[in-house]
Amino acid sequence: MLRDPDDGAMRARVAANAAQLGLRLLDATSNDYLGLAQRSVSRETLGKAGAAASRLIHGTTDEHLRLETALAAWVGAETALLFSSTYSANLGLIAALGIQGSLVISDAFNHASLIDGARLAKAEVAVVPHLDLEAIRLLLRNRQSPCWVVTESYFSMDGDGPDLGALRSLCDSYGACLIVDEAHALGVFGPAGAGRCAQVGVRPDVLVGALGKAVGTHGGFVAGPKLLRDYLWNRARSFVFSTAPSPAHAALTEHQLRLAQQADALRAKLDSNAAHLRARLTQAGLKLIQGSFGPIISVVVGENARAIAVADRLHRVGILAQAIRPPTVPEGTARLRLTVKATFADDEIDRLADAVEDACRAS
């Protein structure tokens, strides 16, 4: 996916176009689903600026430990371990768990961080077709060695997700461990925004969460049993050899986490906005991803040049949208990826729907 090397300049151009039309800039690209990233914070929210060392050396602070306790409680896990990013969390997790003789079974549409973690692991790696439970069952059927089944709960390009209950049952039947990346689901789905696993009553063996999306800061975490935390503390290289996240950032994230947990009204509005936009685009006859749900709505246009043209037409009317092209998505499925926000008013959803339909018709 090629992008404007100066994203700030592009945003400024789109904002200027919106202003000329007397409209508000609509950001349909970011993952700030609840709008919490745009909120101002007080000095009292913050702590010490830097940790100055890795967690293993002398970098752990009370702010880190409080945040990890809050994160574990949020997702119903015994413990959690904070990483500087969700990418480093997935990378360190999969590489550390994928010991020689084990098998990592990975969904074909898993995020690059999970893929790269599997590449670094010493385990055998099997990539299965997207959401294909039978393919996973066939791999597990005669397997005696440890197996890790790895999936996202809500896929960031297609806006779909697995049957988590069926996946949990399948893993239990064959003694496999289930790893679920809830990056795009936390804050959006489930009670108090605890994710899709919590929504359907499934407890994965390992849960990965993101803090740079609905929570509105940055960073990632791995949640699970204390034994897992102790193991990653010593074996996840992306954790071991990284300076600890800023204590100020950890304190801010704990504050943002409380806001996300209490944001039921925002989640209801987000759900309503997503359903409204999806219905409008479907009525217009545009091609959406079959089985998609939630705030990620991808309009498949096929050719790269057409996707770029559609995005450019939206930019001209003050809507920030991104053309997603191979290799981020499969060849022939270039698309306009839209992310709905809880902060969009009803008339802005209609404005977005009208603009996307017009841009697709004209391109």
Pick the catalytic residue from 111, 249, 315, 341: 111
**Catalytic-role residue among 27, 32, 68, 152:** 152
Both structure tokens of 271: 């759900």
Please say if 249 is a catalytic residue: no
User: Which single residue is written with the structure tokens 């960073």?
Assistant: 219
Catalytic residue among 32, 68, 181, 254: 181
Q: Which of 64, 107, 184, 249 is catalytic?
A: 184
Based on the residue annotation, tell me whether 184 is a catalytic residue of this protein: yes
Phi and psi dihedrals of 212, rounded to 5?
Answer: -95, 10
Respond yes or no: is residue 111 known to be catalytic: yes
* Options 106, 153, 182, 213, the catalytic residue: 213
Please tell me whether the peptide bond between 327 and the residue prior to it is cis, using omega within 30 degrees of 0. Answer: yes
How many beta carbons lie within 10 A of that of residue 89, not counting itself? 30
Complete DSSP assignment for 272-317:
HHHHHHHHHHHHTT--B-TT--TTEEEEEEESHHHHHHHHHHHHHT
**Of residues 17, 156, 273, 298, which has the active-site annotation?**
156
3 state DSSP class of 57: helix
Q: Is 30 a catalytic residue?
A: no
Provide the 10 A C-beta neighbour count for residue 20: 11
Active site residue 145: no
Q: Is 156 a residue of the active site?
A: yes
Catalytic residue selected from 17, 31, 85, 292: 31
Q: Is residue 42 annotated as a catalytic residue, yes or no?
A: no
| Residue 185: partners with Cβ closer than 8 Å, 6 or more residues away | 153, 154, 161, 195, 196, 197
Residues acting as catalytic residues: 31, 111, 152, 156, 181, 184, 213
